[in-house]
């Protein structure tokens, strides 16, 4: 089948736009990587663009030997793994009954859930609720309040609604109860949507900042993003920013760049493994009744 001139022009501009958009996202990351491997003077004077100047690994040595930073890294990994698993579990357990036509209350419950997508809980009542139930200074305060995303739940419910009802009938004839139907039939068919919302959940937990700022006072429980804040907002409290390397004052610029890369790259490495599912699942956002 031949491609028309209009389609060729559209594809040209479409690909050009996408390449430019991707470039604007990748270049800052490459720049930070170059800065992190550069000497302190060219980094501070903003002479580094995409290639390190006066190459050195001193900033990375300090970052990788920073026990406090690794402690926050461990907290973030724990939150991300536990939170993503629990969020996926409870999202599926919520979406499945709401996709069943025999469940008479599905429409009013869905209406109430959609309302929460429009009106968010005010911050003060939210804070007081979490404090009242005893979650302050606990990693559970970073998981439980956002355990289920209404948007993600709607996506999963929509996917379940698209599964042919003939599978239900065949499973019922074979004596499947609801839990077996969900875990042995529906979930194996739901890898694309689960990978998609799992990535959404994982990225959200990895970037936890606001809830940690509200509920965590113990610095040993600070997640990575809150630790990064202390580097940028309160650098005088960080021991590693006043290092001296040879005749140069090892300023914060290279350390900040290395720390940002340290915090960003791990979650980026997850994307290639889920890409084939993510491409399919990202198209599942339409609503069904």
For the record, the structure tokens of 220 come out as: 């040993």
Q: Quickly list H helices, the chain.
A: 5-36, 40-44, 58-64, 67-98, 106-118, 123-132, 150-161, 165-173, 178-180, 187-189, 191-206, 210-215, 224-233, 252-268, 271-281
Give the global pTM: 0.80
CB 38 within 8 A of CB 53: yes
Task: Kindly state the average pLDDT of the residues 124-143.
Answer: 88
In three-state form (DSSP H/G/I as H, E/B as E, the rest C), the secondary structure along 186-220 is: HHHHCHHHHHHHHHHHHHHHHCCCHHHHHHCCCHH
Residue 56 has pLDDT above 90, yes or no: no
pLDDT of 59: 82
Distances (CA, A) of 90 to 65, 74, 104, 152: 38, 24, 20, 11
Say what the pLDDT of residue 100 is: 83
Q: Which has the higher per-residue pLDDT, 199 or 289?
A: 199
**Cβ atoms of residues 192 and 281 within 8 Å:** yes
Q: What is the CA angle 235-236-238, rounded to 5?
A: 65
Averaged pLDDT, 180-202: 85
Query: Whole-angstrom Cα distance, residue 121 to residue 8?
Result: 48
Confidence of residue 78 (pLDDT cuts 50, 70, 90): very high
Q: Model confidence at 62, in pLDDT bands (50, 70, 90)?
A: confident
Residues 6+ apart with CB under 8 A from 54: 38, 39, 41, 42
Domains of the chain, by residue range, sit at 61-281
Give the model's pLDDT for residue 246.
37
pLDDT at 115 over 90: no
| Under 8 Å between Cβ of 235 and 156 | no
Listed range (38-47, 120-129, 169-178, 182-191) with the worst mean pLDDT: 169-178
Superfamily designation of domain 61-281:
MetI-like (1.10.3720.10)
pLDDT, one tens digit per residue, over 267-285 is: 888 777 766 666 555 555 4
Quick one: average pLDDT of 174-192? Answer: 79
């Amino acid at each position: 089948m031949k491609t028309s001139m209009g389609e060729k022009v559209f594809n040209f501009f479409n690909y050009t736009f996408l390449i430019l958009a991707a470039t604007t996202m990748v270049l800052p990351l490459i720049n930070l990587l170059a800065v992190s491997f550069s000497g302190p003077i060219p980094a501070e004077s903003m002479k580094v663009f995409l290639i390190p100047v006066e190459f050195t690994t001193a900033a990375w040595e300090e970052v990788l030997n920073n026990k406090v930073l690794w402690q926050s890294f461990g907290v973030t990994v724990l939150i991300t793994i536990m939170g993503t698993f629990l969020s996926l579990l409870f999202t599926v357990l919520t979406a499945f009954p709401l996709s069943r036509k025999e469940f008479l209350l599905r429409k009013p419950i869905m209406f109430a859930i959609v309302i929460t997508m429009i009106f968010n809980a005010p911050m003060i009542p939210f804070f007081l609720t979490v404090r009242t139930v005893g979650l302050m200074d606990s990693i559970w305060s970073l998981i439980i309040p956002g355990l289920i995303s209404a948007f993600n739940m709607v996506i999963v419910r929509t996917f379940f609604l698209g599964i042919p009802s003939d599978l239900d009938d065949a499973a019922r004839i074979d004596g499947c109860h609801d839990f077996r139907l969900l875990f042995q039939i529906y979930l194996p068919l739901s890898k694309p949507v689960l990978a998609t919302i799992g990535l959404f959940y994982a990225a959200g937990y990895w970037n936890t900042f606001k809830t940690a700022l509200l509920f965590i006072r113990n610095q040993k429980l600070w997640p990575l993003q809150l630790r990064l804040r202390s580097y940028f907002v309160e650098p005088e409290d960080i021991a590693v920013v006043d290092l001296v390397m040879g005749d140069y004052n090892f300023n914060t610029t290279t350390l900040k760049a290395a720390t940002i890369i340290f915090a960003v790259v791990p979650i980026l490495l997850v994307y290639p493994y889920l890409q084939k599912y993510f491409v399919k699942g990202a198209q599942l956002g339409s609503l069904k009744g």
